């Protein structure tokens, strides 16, 4: 197995991120809609604690502090037990409720006072020790209550403003308090409706965000898979032969799936988490700058921890992805060759080898879990300590009268909203690292270009005359492995419509000739010409439509018989049947349970070798190429089937240039000319009779194959 399956790619993650985000470009509108929905959902979510704070402070727990107007003016002038800026004094005088010489302001308005200043103001009588409740523009029921307890209220009839101590208000009956607080009850209903609308907005916009993100993720995953598959299909046989199939499947399936998770969950989650964290900090500073600073101090250890663990986690997830690829590659290889494994009693050894790879994957997974097992609890611990610290600090401020209960509760909820994204980042970090590792592996494969160059112009090719089928090799040298030549200066010519057979010992270079004509490989030196034009200058699609091989091991796809004959041409059923009739495949196809609609299983295990070859012949006839290459096409069939195949061959080869590669000499008697290869060179050529008369290499091959006598020769022929 290639070492690439176990390679841990070390790339620069920001570059991988940039390339991944580049796939969003075709879906800009959907991406913008997702971002808008994310912003609106985040804004609605951040407004929930604000509405709760307003509900508590303005309606449920509303109370005012009583100051004298003179004390405020004196404090602004720098006199008295506390000082106020001129701007704050103006705000208090402008926003507070004035009743005579008294000024009633919300407790939050005095939150900047230190506890010592507050105590001194109370001692000096500038600040009332008790809290008050102010009623503005009371209705008739509230006026009845006020008039019924006139001694408990102070009033300003010009502004229709009334105030009562909280302690006195609490002595009223339930009905009287309800009448007096009718404005708070109406405000409470309004705030509750606002809260419900915000919850509904969060639901709607979150749905849009999640749906759009999932849609984008699926589209991007399809784009990457399609691009990766197209890239793999254009790679050369050298690359495909060196790369395990399981590794290719792992990248196309598993690694791409991690990228889908990245776009569906990680990207949107990180954007939302970042938006929430920034929004929470802004709201915290708006509510109380002291608590906001304390919150910022507590998150510093969290980001330090993330930086420390980042590299270790990245390496752990890269290693896991590499080991998953190794296991997939081994499974693909062993399952594909299970018949060989069973025939050679290699089940135990295969199991042991798989256990080794499975153990490596297990260790990689456990290594990843160990890192996360330390990282996650530490994040939770820091978050819990931070919340506890904020609660303790806020409670002290509240007890000193420096913080309202509404602000305290809003802060607690906002802090939880702040640390939830931190925890979420820790949870999503594994997906992020897995996506980075998967992205590195996918882009590394995409960046590996080892393909047969397509130097032809398909538009110019359409204007040329149809291919006649002349094939010419000019001093062709080729080697699969450098320094080990397979063809050594090969020269020959095949005229249009001529059938030429190529024979020779194993390794002589017969199949290599077919690979060079179809440009599965390119020669190291020399030229391969089709109708006098170098095949390297012909467009690959046009070349491979004109030259098509029938190999010894025919590959049929899972699907119907008709689909395997048509293979994407879009032929009518009549044309498919006509091709099958000409190839002599119609007889056995009609005998199948569903005829041309019979399903072929994976690997065509429900068909015999001869049946597969007949379908391959029908496929070639349907595609109608000018040049046909038969590479050991009848090597694995019995004599009766071979006779049927020979009949199909007559139709297949009619008016076409054909190159027949065979070990069994009985299949090449129909050839116009026979070429004998040896050690990469053309040793002999001529007709069957001419070569036998020369008593050369061909004569020896023929004699060895039919050494049992003339009778066997006649049967084979």
Instruction: Answer whether 417's CB lies under 8 Å from 383's CB.
Output: no
Structural domain boundaries of the chain?
63-176, 278-435, 458-716
**pLDDT reading at 361 higher than 80:** yes
β-sheet bridge partners, residue 162:
135, 155
**pLDDT reading at 423 higher than 50:** yes
**pLDDT reading at 307 higher than 70:** yes
* Architecture in CATH for domain 458-716: 3-Layer(aba) Sandwich (3.40)
Q: What is the pLDDT of residue 463?
A: 47
pLDDT over 70 percentage in the chain: 88
Q: Hey, which of 54-63, 262-271, 444-453 has the most confident mean pLDDT?
A: 54-63
**pLDDT reading at 711 higher than 50:** no
Q: What is the pTM of this model?
A: 0.66
Query: What is the side-by-side strand order in the sheet with 153-156?
Result: 97-99, 102-106, 64-68, 127-136, 161-165, 153-156
**pLDDT reading at 625 higher than 50:** yes
Residues 6+ apart with CB under 8 A from 347: 341
Backbone phi and psi for residue 503, each to the nearest 5 degrees, phi listed first: -125, 165
Query: What tokens were used for 633?
Result: 């096409």
Q: What is the tens place of the pLDDT at every residue in 99-122?
A: 888 888 887 777 666 667 677 777
Helices (H), 337-346: 338-343
Q: How many residues does the chain have?
A: 717
**pLDDT reading at 382 higher than 80:** no
Q: What distance lies between CA 671 and its chain's CA centroid?
A: 54
**pLDDT reading at 612 higher than 50:** yes
- pLDDT class of 477 with cuts at 50, 70, 90: very high
Q: What is the tens place of the pLDDT at every residue in 205-254?
A: 999 988 888 888 888 888 888 888 888 888 876 777 777 776 787 788 77
**Mean confidence (pLDDT) of the chain:** 80
CATH classification number, 278-435, choose in 1.10.760.10, 1.10.3720.10, 1.20.1560.10, 2.40.50.140: 1.20.1560.10
**pLDDT reading at 456 higher than 70:** no
Mean per-residue pLDDT for 402-419? Answer: 77
Residue with tokens 């009839």: 157
Q: What is the pLDDT of residue 109?
A: 73
Query: What is the rounded CA–CA span in Å between residue 61 and residue 360?
Result: 62
Query: What is the rounded CA–CA span in Å between residue 665 and residue 702?
Result: 7
Query: What is the rounded CA–CA span in Å between residue 610 and residue 604?
Result: 12
Q: What is the tens place of the pLDDT at every residue in 182-211?
A: 988 999 999 999 999 999 999 999 999 888
In this predicted structure, which of 1-5, 31-35, 159-163, 482-486 has the lowest mean pLDDT?
1-5
Mean per-residue pLDDT for 75-80? Answer: 77
- Name the 3-class secondary structure at 103: strand
**pLDDT reading at 356 higher than 60:** yes
Strand ranges for 468-546 from DSSP E: 471-478, 487-494, 499-504, 525-530, 533-534
Q: What is the pLDDT of residue 388?
A: 80
3-state percent breakdown (helix, strand, coil) of the chain, nearest 5: 65, 15, 20
């Amino acid at each position: 197995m290639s070492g690439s399956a176990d390679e841990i790619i070390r790339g620069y993650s920001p570059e991988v991120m940039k390339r991944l985000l580049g796939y969003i470009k075709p879906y800009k509108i959907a991406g913008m809609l997702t971002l808008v929905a994310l912003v609106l959902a985040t804004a609605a979510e951040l407004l929930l604690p604000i509405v709760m704070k307003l509900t508590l402070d303005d309606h449920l727990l509303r109370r005012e502090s009583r100051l004298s107007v003179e004390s405020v003016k004196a404090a602004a002038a720098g006199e008295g037990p506390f000082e106020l800026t001129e701007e704050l004094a103006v705000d208090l005088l402008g926003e507070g409720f004035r009743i005579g010489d008294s000024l009633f302001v919300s407790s939050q308005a005095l939150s900047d006072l230190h506890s010592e200043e507050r105590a001194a103001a109370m001692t000096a009588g500038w600040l009332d020790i008790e809290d008050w409740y102010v009623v503005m523009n009371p209705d008739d029921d509230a006026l009845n209550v006020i008039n019924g307890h006139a001694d408990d209220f102070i009033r300003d009839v010009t502004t229709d403003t009334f105030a009562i101590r909280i302690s006195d208000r609490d002595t009223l009956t339930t009905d009287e308090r309800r009448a007096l607080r009718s404005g708070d009850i109406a405000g409470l209903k309004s705030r509750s409706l606002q809260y419900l609308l915000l919850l509904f907005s969060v639901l709607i916009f979150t749905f849009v965000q999640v749906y759009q993100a999932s849609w984008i993720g699926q589209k991007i995953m399809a784009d990457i898979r399609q691009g990766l598959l197209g890239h793999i299909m254009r790679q050369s046989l050298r690359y495909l032969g060196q790369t395990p199939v399981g590794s290719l499947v792992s990248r196309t399936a598993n690694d791409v799936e991690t990228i889908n998770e990245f776009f569906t969950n990680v990207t949107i989650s990180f954007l939302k988490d970042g938006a929430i964290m920034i929004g929470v900090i802004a709201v915290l500073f708006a509510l109380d700058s002291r608590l906001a600073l304390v919150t910022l101090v507590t998150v510093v250890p969290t980001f330090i921890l993330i930086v420390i663990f980042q590299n270790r986690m990245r390496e752990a997830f890269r290693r896991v992805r590499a080991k998953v690829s190794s296991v997939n590659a081994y499974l693909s290889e062993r399952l594909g060759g299970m018949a060989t494994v069973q025939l050679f009693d290699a089940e135990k050894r295969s199991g042991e080898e798989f256990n080794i790879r499975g153990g490596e994957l297990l260790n990689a997974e456990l290594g990843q879990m160990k890192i996360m097992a330390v990282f996650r609890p530490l994040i939770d611990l820091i978050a819990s300590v931070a919340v506890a610290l904020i609660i303790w600090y806020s409670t002290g401020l509240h007890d000193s009268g420096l913080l309202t209960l509404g602000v305290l509760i809003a802060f607690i909820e906002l802090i939880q909203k702040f640390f939830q994204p931190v925890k979420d980042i820790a949870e999503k970090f594994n997906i992020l690292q897995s996506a980075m590792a998967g992205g590195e592996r996918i882009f590394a494969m995409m960046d590996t270009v080892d393909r047969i160059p397509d130097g032809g112009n398909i538009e110019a090719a359409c204007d040329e005359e149809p291919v006649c089928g002349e094939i010419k090799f000019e001093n062709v040298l080729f080697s699969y492995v450098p320094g080990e030549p397979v063809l050594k200066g090969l020269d020959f010519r095949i005229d249009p419509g001529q059938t030429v057979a190529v024979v020779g010992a194993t390794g002589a270079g017969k199949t290599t000739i077919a690979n060079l004509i179809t440009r599965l490989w390119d020669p190291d030196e020399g030229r391969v010409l089709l109708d006098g034009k170098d095949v390297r200058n012909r467009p690959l699609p046009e070349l491979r439509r004109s030259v098509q091989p029938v190999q010894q091991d025919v590959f049929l796809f899972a699907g119907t018989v008709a689909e395997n004959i048509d293979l994407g041409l879009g032929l009518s059923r009549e044309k498919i049947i006509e091709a099958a009739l000409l190839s002599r495949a119609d007889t056995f196809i009609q005998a199948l349970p569903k005829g041309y609609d019979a399903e072929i299983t994976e690997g065509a295990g429900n068909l015999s070798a001869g049946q597969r070859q007949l379908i391959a012949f029908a496929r070639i006839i349907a595609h109608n190429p000018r040049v046909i290459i038969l590479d050991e096409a009848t090597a694995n069939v019995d004599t009766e089937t071979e006779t049927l195949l020979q009949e199909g061959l007559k139709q297949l080869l009619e008016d076409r240039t054909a190159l027949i590669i065979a070990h069994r000499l009985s299949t090449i008697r129909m050839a116009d000319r026979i070429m004998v290869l040896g050690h990469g060179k053309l040793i002999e050529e001529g007709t069957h009779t001419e070569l036998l008369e020369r008593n050369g290499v061909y004569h020896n091959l023929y004699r060895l194959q039919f050494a049992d006598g003339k009778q066997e020769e006649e049967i084979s022929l």
